Each structure stands twice: as structure tokens, then as C-alpha cells.
Amino acid sequence: MKKFTFKLESVLSLRLHKERLVMQEVGALTQELARVKGVMADLEVERVEVEQNLGRRMGLGMSGAELQGVQSYIKGIVVRWQGEYALCEKVQRYLDAKRSELARCAVERKAMETLRDRQREAFLREQDEEQRKLDEETVLVHRAATARSRE
């Protein structure tokens, strides 16, 4: 009996490999996005703490130079936060694009798997039909041989 072979198996394997690569990229981007958001949260906490500390120190009295130094430090935190925010938006856009690509890869792979399954079903139906015909021929030959032996 013949064995089913899917002529586009290499294409299916390539699509599956590509889908796995894109899935890895989505995972890496998701981790990067979480890291950037964590840095942003840390910077926000640091900014709030410095501002609260500044308020307490101002109540105790501060020189203009000290005040200017703290304000510059706070401004540096805000600039770093803005940089991280811009990076966060960039990573999010890239992640969205990769998720769309992953969805497209999954659809392409599923289409190839459906084609393979349909071809396999057609092959099996064809094999069953060939076996049925062979069985019918065997029965007819057997009946003919039995009829001859009776004569």
C-alpha cells in the first residue's frame, strides 16, 4: 500500500519555523516592554521621593544653589522618564506589528495544514476505493473459478 506524502511539506515546515521565530520575537519584545515600563515606574517613584524630600528640606531652609541642584536633578529624572516613554511607545508599535505578523503566519500555517489534511483524506479515500475495487475483482475471479470448477 502506498504511503501519503504531502508535496508541500517543506513549505509547511518553513511556515512553522517562521511562526516560531516571530513568536520568539514577540516574547522578547514583551519582555523589553515590561522592562521599560519597570524603569519608567522606578523613575516616577524616584521623582516623587525627591519632590517630597525637597518639600521637607524647603521647610527647614535651603540655599538657592541647593534648590537649583535638586530642581536640575528632578529635571534629569523627567528627561530620562520621557526618553523611556518614547522607547516604550516605539517598542509597543513594533510589538503590535509583530503580533499582526504572528497572526498572519498562523493563518498561513493553518491554511497549509488544512490543505495537507484534505489531501491526506483524498488520498485515503482513493486508497479505500482502490482496495474496494481490488476486493470486488478478487470476488469475481473467485466466483468465476468456482463456476468453472462446477462445470
pTM of the model: 0.74
Q: If pLDDT is split at 50, 70 and 90, which confidence band does 1 have?
A: low
Q: How far apart are CA 82 and CA 68, in angstroms?
A: 21
Per-residue CA distances from 4 to 7, 126, 134 (Å): 9, 11, 19
CATH architecture, domain defined by 9-108: Orthogonal Bundle (1.10)
Q: How far apart are CA 140 and CA 148, in angstroms?
A: 12
Q: How far apart are CA 89 and CA 48, in angstroms?
A: 23
Nearest Cα to Cα of residue 98 among 34, 42, 21, 37: 21
The answer on pLDDT for 60 being more than 90 is no
Residue 62 φ/ψ region, left for φ over 0, alpha for ψ in the -120 to 50 degree band, beta for the rest: beta
Residues 112-124: what's their mean pLDDT?
95
Question: Rounded mean pLDDT of the chain?
Answer: 92
Domain definitions of the chain by residue range = 9-108
pLDDT at 98: 97
Residues 130-136: what's their mean pLDDT?
92
